[in-house]
Amino acid sequence: MTAREVYGFFRSSTSYRLRLALAAKGLDYSPRFISLPGGAHRTEAFLAINPQGLVPVLREEGRAFTQSLAILEYLEERYPEPPLLPADLVERAYVRALSQVIACDIHPLNNVRVLTLLRQDFGIDDGGVQRWYEHWIATGMASFEAMLSCECRHGRYCLGDKLTIADLCLVPQVANARRFACDLSPFPLSCGIAERVEALDVLAPAAPGRQADAF
């Protein structure tokens, strides 16, 4: 039993990001399953851990860390090996920019609470919600693909052959887009990278289907 805990949900892409980072760094943890469909993130017990009511949360040595990108940066600073950010300042900025295309410009628009609001408060039907979801995947992934292609710094992964947090943000977003049957054919660079990252043995335990709360 480790003192490190991860509060997450198998299908949550932000939880998946964190599991990927922990796997890449070889850090073990005890999973704490927070069912989003079951509303476990809105219970008093969970709100006492993260008042924002969102997963993931990393708990280490009694401290709770929230916001997946902030957690990834914390892990990077605390456990620098193997690095998930490049040493070069300009490359670091590039990797952070790619990560934020996904974490700031795609994910928040397609989050569960947004889709629920569209359905419940704005009366949008399933077809409309699907169009919304596909729209933000298409525009966000087009930006991501264009950055990769214009900068031409990719190799096996987003930045050459070094795994970075940009790859760890990309994989869960592509997985979610596939789950919502979005057309990913216009994004061959991004999808090729995602497939190569997903195929890494060291990261396999982080996959949604491998979590004990998966259904």
When the beta carbons of 67 and 143 are compared against ligand GSH, the nearer one is 67
19 scored as a contact of ligand GSH (CB under 6 A): no
Distance in angstroms (rounded) separating the CA atoms of residues 135 and 21: 28
Q: Which stretch binds ligand GSH (CB under 6 A): 63-71, 84-92, 151-159, 195-203?
A: 63-71
Per CB under 6 A, the list member of 6, 7, 10, 13 interacting with ligand GSH is 13
Give me the count of residues in the chain.
215
Number of Cβ atoms within 10 Å of the Cβ of 73:
18
When the beta carbons of 154 and 207 are compared against ligand GSH, the nearer one is 207
Backbone angles phi, psi at 103, to 5 degrees: -70, -30
- Show contacts with ligand GSH in window 82-121 (CB under 6 A): 103, 111-113
Residues 6 or more apart in contact with residue 110 via CB below 8 angstroms: 132, 133, 136, 137, 176
Nearest distance, CB of residue 106 and ligand GSH, angstroms: 11
Q: Which stretch binds ligand GSH (CB under 6 A): 10-18, 91-99, 126-134, 158-166?
A: 10-18
Q: Which stretch binds ligand GSH (CB under 6 A): 7-15, 19-27, 118-126, 144-152?
A: 7-15
68 scored as a contact of ligand GSH (CB under 6 A): yes
Question: Is residue 75 classed as helix, strand or coil in its secondary structure?
Answer: helix
14 scored as a contact of ligand GSH (CB under 6 A): yes
Instruction: Note whether 186 and 145 are within 8 A (CB).
Output: yes
Instruction: Note whether 171 and 198 are within 8 A (CB).
Output: yes
Residue by residue, DSSP assigns 43-74 as SHHHHTT-TT--S-EEEETTEEEESHHHHHHH
173 scored as a contact of ligand GSH (CB under 6 A): no
Give residue 164's Cα distance to chain centre.
Answer: 13
Closest residue to bound ligand GSH by CB: 113
Q: Which stretch binds ligand GSH (CB under 6 A): 11-19, 134-142, 158-166, 207-215?
A: 11-19
Kindly list the residues in this chain that would bind ligand GSH in the complex (CB under 6 A). 12-14, 36, 41, 54-55, 67-69, 103, 111-113
